[in-house]
Amino acid sequence: MQDTSLFRTWAEIDTAAMRHNLSVVRRVMPNHKQMAIVKAEAYGPGLDGVAKALDGEDIDFFGVATVGEAARIHDLGCRTCPFILGPCFPAERELIVQHGWRAALSSMEEAAHFDSLGKLYGKQVNLHINVDTGMGRAGLLPSDIPMLADQLSAFENLHIEGVFSHLSAAADDISFTHRQIRSFEEAVAELSAKLELPYRHLCSSSAVFNYSAPSTNMVRLGRILYGYSPMPSPYNRELRNTLTLYARVTLLRTLPSHHGVSYNHTYITDAPTRVATIGIGFGDGYLHYLSNTGARVYLNGSYCPVLGRVTMDQIMVDVTHMDDVKPGDVAEIMGPNVPWEELTARAKTIPSNVITSLTARVPRVYI
Ligand SMILES: *Cc1c(COP(=O)(O)O)cnc(C)c1O
């Protein structure tokens, strides 16, 4: 393992826990294939490390946001095919066609262009039709599906390999989610009359344990792979933490009573206070929104509240109640003792925002 002794902060990534989380989904949904979503540095743990760790796991696709991310997966030598979830610029489609990557289809213009590129390169282009059942972000509208199914099957160089959609509020609006599922089922039925559609996928982390979409045969796994399930479910307990963020104490000082701490003195000591300065800040991805929210770190077996504002490279925590703290001591910033959900709630954001915020300055250590 990497020597972390001089790191101010680092993220320890447990790839075995990711494989375990994958196995939980596989046990619950034995008849579904999986797409592992590794976009945005695999949400924080790092695209390269995660793609390498999951490449041998018999996953059908690696879900990415951009052609650049697909190219990185290709350059790593992964066997798992990249799937570009969102729209691509015309100039990016050439690379997709040449490499045989999978892309989402939202318009007939895209279909016609992909078809002509397929002809040019003598390749069959594998596309998955995106149906906008309510997300309002990309895809064909369900009302256009009957008309387009014939046209799509006529393109000689296209292979419509799948159909998918994305749920917009699976964790929050159950009745709307059921409407989206019904709309997807109708679209699949209409398209199936004209096209073979080997892959049909709708559910991602907030839906896999809580909804069923009968026509589907693949799930797209992002957060759940990384240890977080957005919906209450009996399986959540089985998911394992995959990312633990650590940072070291860099300095210890005692401040007198009535001394301000950090920018704008949003915290003022009310008694002599032992303050540990820790080498992490929003420049590492410890969100500024955590300032003055009761956020805490876990240090030498006890919780220490963060005092005042988070700065770019450092935070200050109260260690008055402890007598064994010294520079170099390691605090857990996020992990088993300071769960991802806790930081999400304090920063008033969503879970993915907390871990995708980790910046390139934070070394990722794979165990
Ligand atoms: C990011 C993304 C996912 C993954 O979502 P999770 O909730 O993290 O599982 C799935 N599908 C699409 C289309 C996405 O863009």
Q: Whose CA is nearest to atom 5 of ligand 1?
A: 222
Q: Whose CA is nearest to atom 4 of ligand 1?
A: 222
Residues contacting ligand 1 via CB (< 6 Å): 37, 39, 85, 166, 204-206, 220-224
- Give CA torsion, residues 298, 303, 306, 310, to 10 deg: 10
Q: Distance between the two ends of the chain, CA-based, in angstroms?
A: 7
Q: Residues 271-293: what's their mean pLDDT? A: 98
CA of 37 to the centre of ligand 1 (A): 7
Of 18, 168, 204, 229, the one to substitute when testing ligand 1's pocket (max ligand atoms within 8 A of C-beta) is 204
CA of 204 to the centre of ligand 1 (A): 6
Report the nearest atom of ligand 1 relative to the CA of 225: 9
CA of 228 to the centre of ligand 1 (A): 13
Gap between the Cα atoms of 35 and 38, Å rounded? 9
CA distances, 108 to each of 149, 196, 319 (Å) = 11, 19, 62
- Residue 115: which pLDDT band, with cuts at 50, 70 and 90? very high
Q: Whose CA is nearest to atom 15 of ligand 1?
A: 85
pLDDT of 95:
97
**Whole-number percent of the chain with pLDDT over 90:** 97
CA of 222 to the centre of ligand 1 (A): 6
Whole-prediction pTM value? 0.96
CA distances, 148 to each of 28, 179, 255 (Å) = 35, 22, 70
CA of 61 to the centre of ligand 1 (A): 13
- Give CA torsion, residues 103, 105, 136, 72, to 10 deg: 10
Q: Residues 153-168: what's their mean pLDDT? A: 97
246 is catalytic: no
pLDDT of 230:
87
Residue 14, pLDDT > 90, answer: yes
Q: Whose CA is nearest to atom 14 of ligand 1?
A: 85
Residue 1, pLDDT > 90, answer: no
Report the nearest atom of ligand 1 relative to the CA of 65: 15
Residue 2, pLDDT > 90, answer: no
- Catalytic pick among 194, 263, 286, 326: 263
Mean pLDDT over all residues of the chain? 97
Residue 327, pLDDT > 80, answer: yes
Q: Whose CA is nearest to atom 8 of ligand 1?
A: 222
CA of 148 to the centre of ligand 1 (A): 26
Q: Which residues pair with 83 in a beta bridge?
A: 63, 102
263 is catalytic: yes
| Closest C-alpha to 281, from 255, 242, 309, 243 | 309
- Residue 342: which pLDDT band, with cuts at 50, 70 and 90? very high
Q: Residues 207-221: what's their mean pLDDT? A: 97
pLDDT tens sequence across 308-320: 999 999 999 999 9
pLDDT tens sequence across 223-263: 999 999 989 999 999 999 999 999 999 999 999 999 999 99
pLDDT tens sequence across 135-151: 999 999 999 998 898 89
Residue 186, pLDDT > 90, answer: yes
